[in-house]
Amino acid sequence: HVLLYLYSLNKLDLRGKMDFNYLLYSMLLCSMCCGLTFGQGSVPIVLATWGFAQQPTDKAWEKLQANKGPLDAVQSGCEYCEFNHCASSVGYANNFDENGETTLDAMLMEGKTHKVGGVAAIKRVVNAIGVARAVMDYTTHTLLTGESATSFAREMGFPVLEKTTLTNATLFQYLRWRYRDCQPNNRKNVKNKCLCGPYSPLDSVEEHSPNELTTWKDLILLKKLAGDASMENLDDHDTLGVLAIDAKGDIAAGVTTNGMRRKVPGRVGDSPIPGSGAYVDNDIGGAVCTGDGDIMMRFLPSYHAVQMLQFGLTPTQAGHDAMLRILKVYPFFSGACIVVNKQGEHGAGCTMARFPMYVRTSNMDSATLLRVNCTIPETPYFNIK
């Protein structure tokens, strides 16, 4: 683009001769205008994580076009996957915990008042994002958990299943896991880790290095070493995250997941934690993140990414910085954040080779798949002490 621009100014002839000062000036101009932003600004806009998010993105867009607002939009996008099982890690009856149960985490946040509604480890309820909206609309609280969240859902009129059910495929995976002595699992420093329990603490607690590979992170590293460029089918931990900005500039985010497979019962991931799974601010922008939630919630990456926008970083740079601060402590961490500023400029930071996301704006007939090449800088953009 720089060369074409110079040629149009007659500063570059057909043999490639050019004024070096014009080259430096034009490259500087290009970097100032384009930065590292993946997508140019446009509102209204909808963005969503992962390669299974085309329909959720379109569903959210339909709500924006019907003037329903960004909160209704992201809720609609998340509900589509909850009811239609877009991925094994989203929706009821898929990923299981050690007891063979499915529990869901979900959250909604809107950027005008920073209201949040969330549910964590909710059982026997399909529409987790709907219950999260009810927490926002009908309580003064932010987050409800476990069986109490299920009871609240029943009070609000949501269908509650009588008993836990799994899909046939998931039931087979669970029974096979049990047959293989519950390997791998998410226990550490316990007796009988190589069995299905009973578990009890070891006499001494071993300090584990952040570099240690555990559970599905082994697979991630092996796939990287084997040269798997996409990583798109590794859906053991994928969270559906949806961001929407309407024509008035109001921003909202929604996230939903059934969490990590084989998790310890009661485990809550990053998705329903404001600032970790998602964060939005009308004055700045928004972010949603996905990956190893147990690590991510220690760093609040979505909050960090949004705050970096205030310091002048592009959305891609902000996503990079959020990932880099995790990688400094956990070099084998796997995850991603998609980020959008209030003008609709968007980008992503990720630790895989590539990360798929969907976007839709007014000049698109349907949601468009973007494949982000994950290149993280070696040093933070700001050295925050």
Which residues are known to be catalytic? 239
Task: Judge whether 266 is annotated as a binding position.
Answer: no
Q: Does the annotation list 137 as a binding residue?
A: no
Q: How far apart are CA 48 and CA 319, in angstroms?
A: 14
Is 267 assigned to a binding site?
yes
Specify whether the CB–CB gap between 221 and 24 falls below 8 A: no
Q: By C-alpha distance, which of 234, 243, 328 is closest to 277? A: 243
* Rounded distance between C-alpha atoms, residue 343 and residue 54, angstroms: 22
Reported residue count of the chain is 385
Determine which helix (DSSP H) or strand (DSSP E) holds 341, and give its type and residue range: strand 335-341
Q: Give the 3-state secondary structure of residue 54.
A: helix
Q: How far is it, in rounded angstroms, from Cα 61 to Cα 70?
A: 9
Strand partners of residue 242: 48, 254
* Residue 12: DSSP 8-state: B
3-state secondary structure of 153: helix
Question: Is 113 marked as binding a ligand?
Answer: no
* Residue 293 known to bind ligand: yes
Residue 241 marked in a binding site: no
- The annotation status of 268 as a binding-site residue, yes or no, is yes
Tokens of 106: 């979900």
Alpha-carbon span 343 to 112, nearest angstrom: 15
CB 254 within 8 A of CB 242: yes
Task: Specify binding-site residues for substrate.
Answer: 267-270, 290-293
Task: Specify binding-site residues.
Answer: 267-270, 290-293
